[in-house]
């Protein structure tokens, strides 16, 4: 029988795997085969050397990386920045309340100041209520501001165009049109929140915070 199966079995056993042959048959072959016995010794020596080889020492770059970081990253929020954020979020909350007040009559009673049909009034109330919720969501979680901008911006843009045309044609009262200033203000505030969040970048890594505390 060829020695190849026995050498494969021996190699598998050295690696801690199933040799695929009965152990007694493998040992008997190694004991009587003049070619496989020295081969087995060399294979065991190579395996042992590979397992006990010294670990290559790698340089510790922690100090170099930390030293290269600036003392203050762009994401560090100063006192004035935190105050501005609070003001923006508070303004969004107030705006949401005002938007909810506008939505209430149309949504609950099905009437508005333009005497629209009940369902149309309900739709208008639903839109205003949804906008109020969106402003509250951005106030509670400023990271949502960028995601709210596409829908809010497109809605305000279209509404502005049709409102100007309706004012020119006498189809809407100026008082009604002025209520849309709330939406323009909301769009501006949400845009400011998104811009401030983008300009701050990433937060200071925890590793740098540990370094400062050391």
* Domain ranges (residues) in the chain: 4-51, 79-200
Mean local confidence (pLDDT), 158-179: 85
- pLDDT band of residue 3 (cuts 50, 70, 90) is confident
- Compute the average pLDDT of residues 164-176: 84
The pTM for the full model equals 0.49
**59-83, pLDDT tens digit by residue?**
777 878 877 776 655 554 555 678 8
Convert the pLDDT of each residue in 19-37 to its tens digit.
Answer: 888 888 888 888 888 888 8
Residue 213, pLDDT above cutoff 80: no
User: Between 112 and 25, whose confidence is greater?
Assistant: 25
3-state SS of the chain?
CCCHHHHHHHHHHHCCCCCCCCHHHHHHHHHHCCCHHHHHHHHHHHHHHHHCCCCCCCCCCHHHHHHHCCCCCCCCCCHHHHHHHHHHHHHHHHHHHHHHHHHHHHHHHCCCCCCCCHHHHHHHHHHHHHHHHHHHHHHHCHHHHHHHHHHHHHHHHHHHHHHHHHHHHCCCCHHHHHCCHHHHHHHHHHHHHHHHHHHHCCCCCHHHHHHHHC
Tens of pLDDT, residue by residue over 82-100, are 888 899 999 999 999 988 8
pLDDT at 123 over 50: yes
């Amino acid at each position: 029988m060829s020695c190849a199966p026995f050498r494969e079995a021996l190699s598998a056993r050295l690696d801690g795997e199933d040799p695929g042959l009965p152990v007694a048959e493998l040992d008997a072959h190694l004991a009587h085969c003049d070619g496989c016995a020295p081969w087995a010794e060399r294979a065991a020596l190579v395996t042992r050397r590979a397992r006990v080889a010294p670990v290559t020492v790698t340089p510790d770059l922690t100090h170099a990386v930390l030293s290269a970081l600036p003392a203050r990253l762009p994401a560090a929020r100063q006192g004035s920045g935190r105050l501005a954020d609070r003001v923006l979020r508070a303004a969004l909350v107030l705006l949401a309340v005002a938007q909810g007040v506008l939505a209430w009559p149309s949504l609950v009673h099905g009437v508005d100041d333009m005497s629209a049909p009940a369902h149309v009034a309900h739709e208008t109330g639903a839109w205003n209520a949804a906008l109020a919720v969106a402003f509250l969501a951005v106030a509670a979680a400023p990271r949502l501001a960028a995601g709210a901008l596409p829908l809010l911006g497109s809605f305000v843009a279209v509404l502005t165009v049709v409102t100007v045309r309706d004012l020119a044609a006498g189809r809407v009262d100026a008082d009604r049109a002025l209520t849309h200033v709330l939406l323009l203000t909301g769009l501006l505030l949400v845009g400011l929140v998104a811009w401030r969040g983008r300009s701050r970048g990433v937060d200071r890594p925890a590793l740098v915070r540990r370094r400062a505390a050391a």
